Structure 1
Amino acid sequence: MIHTMDFYSNRTLFTLMNKEKTEQPDSPNIHLHLQIQTHNKETNEQDVLPFSPSFPQSPWTLSPLHSPSPSLLYHCIASLHRHHGNIFSIAISKGFVFTGSNSSRIRVWKQPDCIDKGYLKSSSGDVRSIIAYNNMVFTTHKDQKVRIWNFNFSETFKSKKVATFPKRRKINTVLNFNRAKNITKKQSDSVSCMAYYHSEGILYTGSHYKTVKAWKISDKKCVEFDSFLAHEDRVNDILVNQDDGCVFTCSCDGSVKIWRRVYTEKSHTLTMTLKFQPSPVNALALSSCLNHCFLYSGCSDGMINIWEKERLCYRFNHGGFLKGHRFAVLCVVTVGNMVFSGSEDTTIRVWRREKGSCYHECLMVLEGHRGPVRCLSACLEMEKVVMGFLVYSGSLDQTFKVWRIKVFSEDENIDVDGNDNGDGRVKIREFDMSPVLSPSWVEKKIQGSPFQ
């Protein structure tokens, strides 16, 4: 195994975030990788070589991890700075990309190269979560409200806000405490994450105040029909399995919980609690198909835990973990059997689950951000002889980047639909150093405020 992460040794997050990116052009709008790295086992040094003598200016970069297939290439096709503040959320639908930040404007970009198409304007910023489904966009805001937008595209992009909830009287409705405690509750009860169950039209929202609410979305109306205390600490992420309606939540309390709706009643019941280590869980992702279902949970210790669903029941078993990030994993997304993770160490890692088994390997490390990678989104991109992916990343360095990854057809291990056959336990490619807790997260945790 070639240890390609040696250059992180004896470095802090501060030095990583302030490292000069000399290999990138000075243009504020487009950043391209113009080199590949090869590793010398004997000297443990990296030499910079041109991609090809015939094409010295090629933007494509060979995966530095020297995966079994030499046909994995990537490059950053755009780096955009048209935001006001840090970027917290990304969503994709109908050929559009939506990004949320500290600003009250939700930026809209056209795929694949992210041409600016305008924005959705709200009265409150800090858009921590965005969901896009068909022609609907759900956004959360600093004023503790959720907004629903409809959009369409003819010659120009057009949008309309169709609902805002909850109403202010519901925000001010609290338990029978005094007014000072009511204010504290209101300030703490901001929405941190969302998930949408397509077939039932149910929107789930998780809050900083440990609760999950379920809303029925229909005819421009949003009716809350269930609310339950989900965790012992703030809810960081929530997702829904579109196949069976199971709801997954994760929290700073270090646990992942699985909930099922009781269809004879308007309520949800806890079916299972997953907890492998005490580290806070920041992000969830699900890779589901007819025969297999894998749940990925990204933690503040740099690990990504893998949970495999039993075929004949709803039980999930721990199948191992992905180790490689140096600091907290803040976001995880899946496309088929490909897993993309963003971290506080400023990098994005691309993992692949091998067909017919639970073997995972890290194919490449995408570098370019100068701050923690807060959010990710990815989609499949097909061409004549090449299969690839578009990966969109948002960072606390206030930039939004677009990455193109190419996988040539000779690589038969990429499974678009995630259809695996056979059983096997997860095997993890080890790295030379164990991940450590993020210094900034530790500092904020001591102060009583988890990393954002």
Structure 2
Amino acid sequence: MEFYGRKTGHCIMDNESNPTQSPPRLSIRTHLNMYDQDLQSSPGRPSSPQMSAAAMDSLLPPGSPETSWTLSPLQTPSPSLLYHCIASLHREDGNIHSIAISKGLVFTGSDSKRIRVWRQSDCTERGCIKTSSGEIRAILAFGNKLFTAHRDCKIRIWNYTVSDNFGFKKITTLPKRSSFLLFPTTSSQQHKDCVSCMAYYHAEGLLYTGSYDRTVKAWRLQDNKCVDTFVVHESKVNAIVVNQDDGCVFTCSSDGSVKIWRRLYRENSHTLTMTLRFQQSPVNAMAISSTSNNCFLYSGSSDGTVNFWEKERMSGRFNHGGFLQGHRFSVLCLVAIEKLIFSGSEDTTIRVWRREEGSCFHECLAVLDGHRGPVRCLTACLQMEKIVMGFLVYSASLDQTFKVWRVKVMPEEKTCFDLADRNNLKKKTTAEYDMSPVLSPSWVEKKLQANHFQ
């Protein structure tokens, strides 16, 4: 599906306060360019004159579904899930690393110095914020505030208004610049490496930032000060989430562990309460699903699995409940909404899982197959309907495309299945999975390199 018509947008520099009009430069397309062209145009990627475009296309999975609704390819005990890709957007900004949703807008951060802003309802571009530093690895939106992390290891906070003629204004940069040149910002206040993730604790107004320098910093937004810095892992921090019910902070790392931290009462320091380790491979992503009845923590690993833990009501401890297996390569991003979990992987696919009410049993409802590179980041929002639950899912891949999916899930059937039925289901799902292989883009690149040097 392609969109036409007039689009308007605003673009401002990082150090300016008044937004200025910028000409619209919208480029929306539903069919991707050949993936070999993307590889050849990317910096540091080898070119391969020996491998034709047609040959490359035959190695890669098919493009996005067409506009008609697609039935989930997996046959599960629950009613089938319907989905289709409603838009595939592309801008010449390099890879998209982060996505955030708030107030009917979608924000994307990429290798470039521009933060793109899209309208959530019809996927049209509303404008952009032009900053002084690129490689925006993390974006977080809450209310009318936008938090962005950049290549210069700093965090920028923006305020924006949503209307026909909306605008952006930078509030501050963390850490704040010193007003005296003789007393620059101390090194302890700034991360020493890339800021990879952020989380916001609403009740206390605390912004948490995780970095490749193995530390997490807590920023008090009331006065924009760093109130605590603590080393959390032996390797780089890949993701951080906060349980809004109790303020617990969860971090994961390439060292293969997930850790739980709690802020001391009436203090700004944090203490380690529990370490969750079930696999040796790096943990790349996390998501938390918390309701009045239960709380689940999900983590995506480089071995392709999604581990999950359930919180005990009495002790508050997290017990390992199992793992979701289906991806062939690294799980790079996770989103949890209601009883659904969305996982994006290096194998170019997005899987939709559903947790059974009152148990730890999960089923894979669908495999969204449309990207031609690793799915780097995901976000989703719920759109309630009368009977069917509707979702909008936004995904970005290292194929430099930004896709929007509409997903519909029928109500869960109240049917009991015995262990034998579930084992048969698992065998059937595995057989279907083995019949539809997906090639890793890293494998494709190695193939190109081998052909290049022959």
TM-score, with length taken from structure 1: 0.77
Mapped to 1, the partners of 2:379 and 2:58 lie a distance apart of 25
The answer on whether the counterparts of 2:191 and 2:213 sit within 8 Å (CA) in structure 1 is no
> Share of identical aligned residues, percent?
65
Q: 1:313 Cα shift?
A: 2.1
Instruction: Specify whether residues 23 and 210 from structure 1 end up closer, same or farther in structure 2 by C-alpha distance, changes over 3 A only.
Output: closer
Aligned mate of 1:145, from 148, 154, 158: 154
Q: For 1:153, what is the secondary structure of its paired residue? A: coil
Could you say what secondary structure the match of 2:347 adopts?
Answer: coil
In the alignment, what sits opposite 2:321? 319
1:215 and 2:219 aligned:
yes
For 1:162, the equivalent position in structure 2 comes to 171
| CA drift at 1:286 | 0.1
Matched, 1:238 2:202: no
Choose from 333, 344, 352 the match for 1:350.
352
Matched, 1:198 2:198: no
2:264 equivalent in structure 1: 262
The answer to whether the Cα contact below 8 Å between 2:347 and 2:438 also exists between their aligned partners in 1 is no
2-structure distance, mates of 1:343, 1:22: 14
Cα distance change on mapping 1:265 and 1:18 into 2, 3 Å: farther
Poorly superposed stretches of 4+, deviation over 6 Å:
14-17, 169-172, 433-439
Contact 1:63 1:363 in 2 (8 A): yes
The equivalences for 1:400-411 within 5 A come to 400-409=402-411, 411=412
Matched residue of 2:224: which SS? strand
Deviations 1:318-376 (A, max 9, x none): 11000000000000000111000000000000000011211001000001101000000
TM-score by length of 2: 0.77
Residues 245-274 of structure 1, C-alpha deviation per residue, up to 9 Å, x if partnerless?
000000000000000000232200000000
Change over 3 Å in CA distance of 1:122–1:19 after alignment to 2: farther
Equivalent residues in 2 for 1:33-48 (5 A)?
33-34=65-66
Change (3 A) 1:347 1:222: same
**Aligned counterparts, 1:16-27, within 5 A:** 19=58, 24=63
Root-mean-square deviation (CA, aligned residues, Å) is 3.1
Aligned-partner SS, 1:157: coil
Taking CA–CA contacts closer than 8 Å with sequence separation of 6 or more, which of the two structures ends up with the larger relative contact order? 2
C-alpha distance in structure 1 between counterparts of 2:150 and 2:323, whole Å: 33
8 Å CA contact 2:374–2:441 kept in 1: the answer is no
- Structure 1 unaligned segments of length 5 or more: list them: 1-13, 25-30, 35-57, 176-185, 414-425, 445-452
Contact 1:282 1:297 survives alignment (8 Å): yes
Classify 1:160/1:297 alpha carbon distance in 2 versus 1 (closer, same or farther; 3 Å): same
1:377 aligned to 351, 376, 379, which one? Answer: 379
Query: 2:348 is paired with a residue of what secondary structure?
Result: coil
Unaligned runs of 5+ in 2: 1-38, 40-50, 415-421, 447-454
**Per-residue deviation at 1:17?**
8.5
Sort the Cα spacing of 1:77 and 1:21 in 2 relative to 1 into closer, same or farther, 3 A: farther
Cα deviation, residue 68, structure 1 = 2.5
Q: How many residues align?
A: 377
**Which position in structure 1 is the counterpart of 2:128?**
119
How far apart are the structure 2 equivalents of 1:18 and 1:373? 18
Partner SS, residue 371 of structure 2: coil
State the alpha-carbon separation in 2 of the partners of residues 316 and 310 from structure 1: 6
Q: Deviations over 1:101-122 (max 9, x none)?
A: 1011111111123111001221
User: Aligned-pair distance for 1:382?
Assistant: 2.2
